Amino acid sequence: MAADMKKLREQIDAIDSQILKLYEERMDVVKAIGEYKMENNLPFYDAAREDAKLEKVFEDVVNKQYADGAAQLFITLMQAGREMEEELAGYVDDEYDDFNWDGEAVTIDL
């Protein structure tokens, strides 16, 4: 049984490595988009684009049991992208970061 769990965790680790690589590729493209938006005076947030993206996620997810989680993943990805674009433009607000350098959740007192 323990060997099975080890094998399953190794599979998760391999998948996570792929996800991380794709995330970094995605963020490279987000950076290029952010630079384009700055050069062309375009807003960083495009509600219609994000709504369309989420509709596509719900449409494309094969196992509908995973739809809500997939949508949450893409909401998080889009938020990270907006934050990167805003950071490129100099709109940095360190007080409201979701995580500190250790990856531990940060409590924000408003």
Band of pLDDT at residue 101, cut at 50, 70 and 90: very low
Number of domains observed in the structure of the chain: 1
Among residues of the chain, what percentage have pLDDT more than 90?
72
Left, alpha or beta for 41 (phi > 0: left; psi -120 to 50: alpha)? left
User: What pLDDT digit, counting tens, does each position of 25-35 carry?
Assistant: 999 999 999 99
Structural domain containing residue 74 = 2-92
Does the model's pTM come out above 0.85? no
- What pLDDT score was predicted for residue 34? 93
109 occurs within a structural domain: no
Q: Is residue 86 part of a domain?
A: yes
Residue 108 lies in a domain: no
Tokens of 97: 């970061």
- Domain for residue 58, yes or no? yes
Q: Is 102 helix (H, G, I), strand (E, B) or coil?
A: coil
Q: Please check whether residue 54 lies inside any domain of the structure.
A: yes
- Please state, in angstroms and rounded to a whole number, the distance separating the CA atoms of residues 87 and 84: 5
CATH number of the domain that residue 43 is part of: 1.20.59.10
Q: Tell me if 105 is assigned to some domain.
A: no
Task: Measure Cα distances from 78 to 16, 49, 52 in Å.
Answer: 19, 10, 12
74 lies in a domain? yes
pLDDT tens figures, 43-83: 988 999 999 999 999 999 999 999 999 999 999 999 999 99
- Asked whether residue 13 is assigned to any structural domain, the reply reads yes
